[in-house]
Amino acid sequence: MPDANPSDDALHRFSAAVKRLFPTALWRPLRALGTGLLAPWRFAFRTGHFRSSLAMSARAADGTAIPWYTYPAIDFLAQRDFGERHVLEFGGGQSTVWWSRRARSVLTFEENAGWMARVRREVGANATLYHVPIDGADPMGEIRGLIAANPVTKFDVIVVDGHLREKAVALAFEYLAPGGALLLDNAEGYGFYEETSRHDCRRIDFFGFAPGVVMRHCTSLVFVGDCFLLSQKIPIPYIERV
């Protein structure tokens, strides 16, 4: 097990010292009040939620880019190895930067040209970004052509987190590699349930807060058959000490 975080040790020592000073009848309500007040602040600073809110951008506590998925989904993905995996994104952003630092290749389609240019400045050489306007004559046909011309045409992870999400999900199943998974953000809407229900697949839902967002939503993992992300060989970390 990794060594404890110094700030966690200090907190435990402080709590133990206060507990010794007060009788149980007084200590318990004090502890309950402290937990209720401290936990939200600790969450906000340790996850980067507070920093993301101020920056209006998905950021970890140290300022590095993270996806705009729910925190449970981010924690789940952060423990997996994507070094030899290929990622396809419908909708780019902070997630593109995050994936480019972890995956072998990233192919991203983004409808906002200005946003795409900004993201392109932050990604590695393993990321390829295309501007595909959603008001074009046939955006999905254009995407098909660009994928056909790409060196990789089957992807281990396909993220749907942009425009035309329902159409993107329908298309994604065609390009999913064996053992791969779809990652659907804001999965409680956009027709995701209706579209995935048409396929023989399984789903895991990660509900929770996302960086800089005040309301909880859902990021879902959808897969057909076996999925490399669910290997029993992946260790379970102690997140608070990583």
| Structural class in CATH, domain 71-241 | alpha beta
| Nearest of 53, 111, 77 to residue 185 by alpha carbon | 77
Parallel/antiparallel/unpaired status of strands 155-160 and 86-90: parallel
Q: Is 20 exposed, middle or buried (0-12, 13-18, 19+ CB in 10 A)?
A: exposed
Domain borders along the chain are 6-47, 71-241
Instruction: Output 189 or 239, whichever has higher pLDDT.
Output: 189
Rounded CA Rg of the chain: 21
> How confident is residue 159, by pLDDT bands cut at 50, 70 and 90?
very high
Residue 231, phi then psi, degrees to nearest 5: -60, 135
- Spatial CB neighbours of 9, under 8 Å, sequence gap ≥ 6: none
Q: What's the longest Cα–Cα distance across the chain? A: 73
Whether the per-residue pLDDT at 158 is higher than 50: the answer is yes
| Mean pLDDT on 227-235 | 93
Give 29-44 pLDDT, tens digit per residue: 877 888 888 899 999 9
- Spatial CB neighbours of 236, under 8 Å, sequence gap ≥ 6: none
Give 173-218 pLDDT, tens digit per residue: 999 999 999 999 999 998 999 999 999 999 999 999 999 999 999 9
| Nearest of 205, 155, 160 to residue 180 by alpha carbon | 155
